[in-house]
Amino acid sequence: MTRKHRATLSDVASKAGVSPVTVSRAIRHPEMVSKKLRERIDNAVRSLGYIPNHLASALASHRTNIVGVIVPSLTNGVFDDYLAAIQDVFSLANIQVLVTNVRYSAEKEEKAINTLLGYHPEAMILVGVDQTDNSRQMLTNAGIPVVQTLDLTDNPIDLNIGLSHDDAGYAAVEYLRSLGHESIAHLTARGDPRSQQRHAGYQRAMDTFGLSSEGLVALTPRISTVQLGRRLFAEVLDRQPGVEAVFCCNDDLALGALFECQQRGIRVPEDLAIVGFNDLEFCAASVPPLTSVGTERIQMGKWAAQNVLEIIRGSGQRPDKCQVNTGFTIHERGSSMPAHKTVHGTRGTKARVVS
């Protein structure tokens, strides 16, 4: 049976022979309603298939139970566990996460912020620190907690947790240099601001070590894929057959580079060392397994959500630390070295060997 329109609070109230307010209470604060009425109301709710209208509720209570989250992509495995971590925290608090995928476009992000704010979210969680002035303005005006994640800035909108991608890029090169490599290539995808920073870190390191990067960098404006990793590395190999190592701005490109080596019979790591970024699951499974710079994506998502929750549902206190550097970890595997150990970097400044 499909009714003309869905049951409302009043419908339930009539059916149960009580006033709408009482129904509202029976749903929000059952302990404030007598057992007898509660049962009658529960029955009415069930028999009508009543589902509270969230919009009306939010409008009246000034509690939307909505948090807005914007991610730049879903295609690479980078943002799933980050998102899942955020959802896990909020779902326990009955807060709905509104996710928008803006595909690495600051313009789309601006539009998404505008749209999401229309839902009056109680907080916003963003990726990166490269929002447009307009975006920053809107977020500030909204007067809600805002968290920028996965990157660091001197001038955060509000809360900020992340790492220095410049330092991470530097560390990757430093690591390869420490293995004795000098001709270190770099594959990168323009369009992702954090990849650009890793590129900058790569360049800074090459300069610092007095190494030339001429002909060793390949970049694409497109979304990176494994296939693209093969192509970009093929370019480098054709230009600089003597290349000894390659640092890729993400693991997809790194896997592509590995496949290109397999195809050409280049031995990894004997002839060429590969380092990826993000430490996705497949890095540990490939042959040889891929060395990769890992970041604390889950921790960052969790921290963002927990701090937001504390502010909007807790004592209303701001957290002690409004900015957190989660650093990064170089997971050393067979693609760069036969031996097994792990290099860890905290605060993005010094890399230390963990085990």
Which one of residues 39, 43, 47, 61 is an interface residue with DNA (CB under 7 A)?
A: 61
- The nearer residue to a second copy, 98 or 200, going by C-beta atoms, is 98
Question: Does 321 help bind DNA (rule: CB under 7 A)?
Answer: no
Question: Does 80 help bind a second copy (rule: CB under 8 A)?
Answer: yes
331 within 8 A of 354, measured Cβ to Cβ: no
164 within 8 A of 109, measured Cβ to Cβ: no
Question: Does 93 help bind a second copy (rule: CB under 8 A)?
Answer: no
What's the chain's length in residues?
355
Q: Which of 179, 113, 101 is nearest to 146 (CA)?
A: 113
- The nearer residue to DNA, 62 or 339, going by C-beta atoms, is 62
Which one of residues 8, 20, 98, 217 is an interface residue with a second copy (CB under 8 A)?
A: 98
251 within 8 A of 276, measured Cβ to Cβ: yes
Question: Does 271 help bind a second copy (rule: CB under 8 A)?
Answer: no
41 within 8 A of 16, measured Cβ to Cβ: yes
Question: Does 295 help bind DNA (rule: CB under 7 A)?
Answer: no
Distance from C-alpha of 269 to C-alpha of 80, rounded to nearest angstrom: 30
Applying CB under 7 A, which part among 5-13, 80-88, 184-192, 289-297 lies near DNA? 5-13
Distance of CA 115 to the CA centre of its chain: 20
Question: Does 22 help bind DNA (rule: CB under 7 A)?
Answer: yes
* CB burial of residue 154 (10 Å; 0-12, 13-18, 19+): exposed
Q: Are strands 323-325 and 328-331 parallel, antiparallel or unpaired?
A: unpaired
Shortest reach from residue 40's CB to a second copy, in Å: 21
Which one of residues 46, 63, 318, 341 is an interface residue with DNA (CB under 7 A)?
A: 63
Question: Does 57 help bind DNA (rule: CB under 7 A)?
Answer: yes
Question: Does 6 help bind a second copy (rule: CB under 8 A)?
Answer: yes
Question: Does 4 help bind DNA (rule: CB under 7 A)?
Answer: no
Q: Using CB distances below 5 to 8 A depending on partner kind, what does residue 353 bind out of a second copy, DNA, none? A: none
Question: Does 8 help bind a second copy (rule: CB under 8 A)?
Answer: no
Q: Using CB distances below 5 to 8 A depending on partner kind, what does residue 115 bind out of a second copy, DNA, none? A: a second copy
Q: Using CB distances below 5 to 8 A depending on partner kind, what does residue 83 bind out of DNA, a second copy, none? A: a second copy
Half-sphere exposure of 166 (CA within 13 A, CB side): 6
* CB neighbourhood size of 200 (10 A): 14
Largest CA distance in the chain: 85
8 within 8 A of 53, measured Cβ to Cβ: yes
Question: Does 27 help bind DNA (rule: CB under 7 A)?
Answer: yes
Give yes or no for a cis peptide into 30 (omega within 30° of 0): no
279 within 8 A of 331, measured Cβ to Cβ: yes
Task: Find tokens 């694409």 and name the residue.
Answer: 220
Question: Does 59 help bind a second copy (rule: CB under 8 A)?
Answer: yes
Q: Where are the beta strands (DSSP E) in 49-122?
A: 66-71, 96-101
DSSP structure class, residue 248: E
Task: Find tokens 């989250």 and name the residue.
Answer: 69
Distance from C-alpha of 148 to C-alpha of 138, rounded to nearest angstrom: 14
- The nearer residue to a second copy, 39 or 88, going by C-beta atoms, is 88
Which one of residues 8, 14, 37, 77 is an interface residue with a second copy (CB under 8 A)?
A: 77
Site residues (CB under 8 A) for a second copy, limited to 25-54: 49, 51-54
174 within 8 A of 181, measured Cβ to Cβ: no
Shortest reach from residue 270's CB to a second copy, in Å: 16
Shortest reach from residue 114's CB to DNA, in Å: 13
Could you list the residues that contact DNA (CB under 7 A)? 5, 8-10, 18-22, 24-25, 27-28, 32-34, 36-37, 52-53, 56-57, 59-63
Could you list the residues that contact a second copy (CB under 8 A)? 1-3, 5-6, 49, 51-56, 58-59, 64, 74-75, 77, 80-81, 83-84, 87, 96, 98-99, 101, 103, 114-115, 117-120, 137-138, 140-143, 225-227, 229-230, 252, 255-256, 259, 262-263, 281-282, 284-287
